Amino acid sequence: MIIPPSSRRKSKYTLRSVPEAGDRVATSAMIASLDAEGRDTIAAPFGHALVDLAKTREDIVGLSADLSKYTDLHIFAEAHPDRFYQMGMAEALLMSAAAGLAREGFVPFATTYAVFAARRAYDFIAMAIAEENLPVKICCALPGLTTGYGPSHQATEDLAIMRGMPNLTVLDPCDAVEIDQATRAIADTPGPVYMRLLRGNVPNVLGEYGYKFELGRAQMIHEGSDVLIISSGFMTMRALDAAKALASDGVSCAILHSPTIKPLDADTICSEAAKGGRLVVTAENHSIIGGLGEAVAGALMRAQVHVPFRQIALPDEFLDAGALPTLHDQYGITVEQIAARIKSWLEA
């Protein structure tokens, strides 16, 4: 039975005023942020966007599986304790409860770590949410190689898993700007969404380009004539930096950012790939199996666009634990290694 908004259970969080613009709540000091590589950062863009949405949307509710501090949902919980549900360390229960709330007219934002949603709760998402096409928004931290905790927490295959689920929109946003915009966009999107989530102090990458997120659209961020890099997630940040490094060697790189992994913007991707004989490279923070790279390759093959094609991705293996800078270098997703691999492919 759904609990009416006026009589929902008390939360452990104390009600306080919603923060005004410029009065942002700090995220947990325990959260290790992705290296911003000298860029400005924005604190907890997902949590703040959800708080702002809830000012005018009484149907917005938040749920977490004992990870609100580590998905930035604690900010929403503090601002709207009567609309926050702590489900404990039970991801199946989290997804089932979110489905129930959606059936009663709410728009639930359910947060956990990506490994727990993709691996542990997959069947509950499929049967309770996706099959019924319910508007549950599953927003998951620690995507790909954004934690050094090892295979138990590294969601290196989540896009491959979630791409195979019917009715599910799959997003891999780049930065704080896009997370803010995408959070607002998916609140108005019918049906379920799986969105990868960067947390804590998130780099501001796309702000300087005047970027506006559009669901289902890939957008050209930087033009170039020698290489077309199609990227998603924080790898768009790395691709932009690699393009600057390659420019000093006379290599001109275009960056096509594709935050929507499913449905893929095949028309834009194929149109850009067909221009001018450029080397096409996909760059993603995900296994080389089943993610953006293979989605792009399939789209090109079906459209009969025949171009030189390479992938920059994580290997098809369980990754090591360790410090993120070391792991990123080890697995080839640093700016320097991206630039070096593209240069070697052009010279081959």
Spatial separation of the C-alpha atoms in residues 167 and 183, rounded to whole Å: 18
Let me know whether 160 and 270 are in one domain.
no
Task: Provide the pLDDT for residue 35.
Answer: 58
243's enclosing H/E stretch is helix 235-247
% of the chain beyond a pLDDT of 90: 88
pLDDT greater than 60 at residue 2: no
Let me know whether 233 and 176 are in one domain.
no
Residue tagged active-site, from 91, 157, 284, 294: 91
3-state SS class at 260: strand
Let me know whether 256 and 195 are in one domain.
no
Residue 69: inside a domain, yes or no? yes
Query: What is the average pLDDT score of the chain?
Result: 91
- What pTM was computed for the model? 0.91
Task: Provide the pLDDT for residue 5.
Answer: 41
Q: Are 115 and 155 in contact (CB under 8 A)?
A: yes
Let me know whether 149 and 229 are in one domain.
no
Q: How confident is the model at residue 29 (pLDDT cuts 50, 70, 90)?
A: very low
Q: pLDDT by residue (tens digit) across 152-206?
A: 999 999 999 999 999 999 999 999 999 999 999 999 999 999 999 999 999 999 9
Q: Across residues 243-257, what is the average pLDDT?
A: 98
- The residue type of 76 is F
Task: Provide the pLDDT for residue 37.
Answer: 63
User: What residue numbers bound the domain in which 72 lies?
Assistant: 24-203
% of the chain beyond a pLDDT of 70: 89
Sign of the CA dihedral running 338, 315, 34, 45: positive
- Residues comprising the chain, all counted: 348
Q: How confident is the model at residue 55 (pLDDT cuts 50, 70, 90)?
A: very high
pLDDT greater than 70 at residue 32: no
Let me know whether 189 and 42 are in one domain.
yes
Q: Across residues 253-261, what is the average pLDDT?
A: 98
Q: Across residues 103-119, what is the average pLDDT?
A: 98
- Residue 263: CB atoms within 10 A of its CB come to 11
Task: Provide the pLDDT for residue 34.
Answer: 64
Residue 91 is a catalytic residue: yes
Let me know whether 170 and 243 are in one domain.
no
- Residue 56: CB atoms within 10 A of its CB come to 7
Alpha carbons within 13 angstroms on the beta-carbon side of residue 247 total 13
* CA-closest candidate to residue 327, choices 143, 146, 116: 146
Let me know whether 285 and 227 are in one domain.
yes
* CA-closest candidate to residue 143, choices 202, 85, 189: 202
Residue 278: φ, ψ to 5°:
-75, 150
Q: pLDDT by residue (tens digit) across 260-296?
A: 999 999 999 999 999 988 999 999 999 999 999 999 9
Task: Provide the pLDDT for residue 6.
Answer: 40
Residue 318: inside a domain, yes or no? yes
State how beta strands 309-314 and 253-257 pair. unpaired
User: What are the residues facing 222 on neighbouring strands?
Assistant: 255
Let me know whether 166 and 314 are in one domain.
no
Let me know whether 199 and 220 are in one domain.
no
Let me know whether 166 and 220 are in one domain.
no
